[in-house]
Amino acid sequence: MTGRETSDIATEDQGVLFEALLELIAHTPVFPNPVQTLAQGKKLGNVELLRLAAISLGHDQPNVGVFKGEPTWEDVLEVKSGKRATVFKREFSDCGMHVVTRGSKVTKREWNETLEQAKVWHRLPFGVPTWFEQPYVPELQCVGEVRALIVNGMVTYTFVTSRNSDGTWEVEPIQKVRPTTFIKYLLLFIFCSIF
């Protein structure tokens, strides 16, 4: 709800547009394939893989709660204010477009628009997006999230996504890949410097 998700295409027309795109790819190769691209947005499958990986390595499991339906505006207010130490996320979203966390700037109007957008998903081939909840991690707010693009088992590109004070997201490349132990010490240093 950073403003980027508000489309110039009316919500009711987005499903029609995607159906037309499906018709196009039935007759013409399109790369990347829109269905495969959007199917990658099913985050809960990846969360389950990470949970199983953590169990197999003897680590703590990430906590994830799945909503039946959608978070209410009252839920959003609790998270924004910090009364609830969690983060809401939605599948089929990128760049933090459908993330509610402590200090989020989302308004009730923007929240209602986000929920309205989901009404077209029943016409699409991969199901309605699911909202889920994870614990709030302060380091993601002050340091960002490190991401890596891996091709054929090799790290080819790394970057950090972080939230700006105005609620928008910034993506910065990382020039050197460092071990996670370095990041832990860096986070500890930053945390100690803040407090």
- 90 shares its domain with 181: no
Residues 163-167: contacts with CB under 8 Å, at least 24 apart: 163/96, 163/101, 166/105, 167/1, 167/2, 167/104, 167/105, 167/106
The two three-digit tokens of residue 43, written as one number: 């985050």
- 77 shares its domain with 131: yes
- 44 shares its domain with 88: yes
- 115 shares its domain with 150: no
- 38 shares its domain with 116: yes
- 72 shares its domain with 127: yes
What is the per-residue pLDDT for 195?
40
What is the per-residue pLDDT for 192?
42
Question: Is residue 128 within 8 Å of residue 118, measured between CB atoms?
Answer: yes
Number of domains the chain contains: 2
Is residue 190's pLDDT more than 90? no
pLDDT category of residue 4 using cuts at 50, 70 and 90: very low
pLDDT category of residue 172 using cuts at 50, 70 and 90: confident
Is residue 70's pLDDT more than 70? yes
- 93 shares its domain with 30: yes
For residue 161, give the H/E element and its range: strand 154-163
- 15 shares its domain with 62: yes
Q: Which residue has the higher pLDDT, 33 or 68?
A: 68
- 20 shares its domain with 105: yes
Distance, CA of 19 to CA of 22 (rounded, Å): 5
pLDDT in tens, 5-52: 445 566 567 677 778 888 898 898 887 787 777 667 778 888 888 888
Instruction: Using a cut of 0.85, tell me whether the model's pTM lies above it.
Output: no
pLDDT in tens, 121-141: 766 666 678 899 999 888 777
- 83 shares its domain with 166: no
- 147 shares its domain with 122: no
- 124 shares its domain with 98: yes
Q: For residue 171, what are the domain limits?
A: 137-195
Question: Is residue 146 within 8 Å of residue 177, measured between CB atoms?
Answer: no
Is residue 168's pLDDT more than 60? yes
Residues 67-71: contacts with CB under 8 Å, at least 24 apart: 67/130, 67/131, 67/132, 67/133, 69/131, 70/115, 70/118, 70/131, 71/100, 71/131, 71/133
What is the per-residue pLDDT for 182?
54
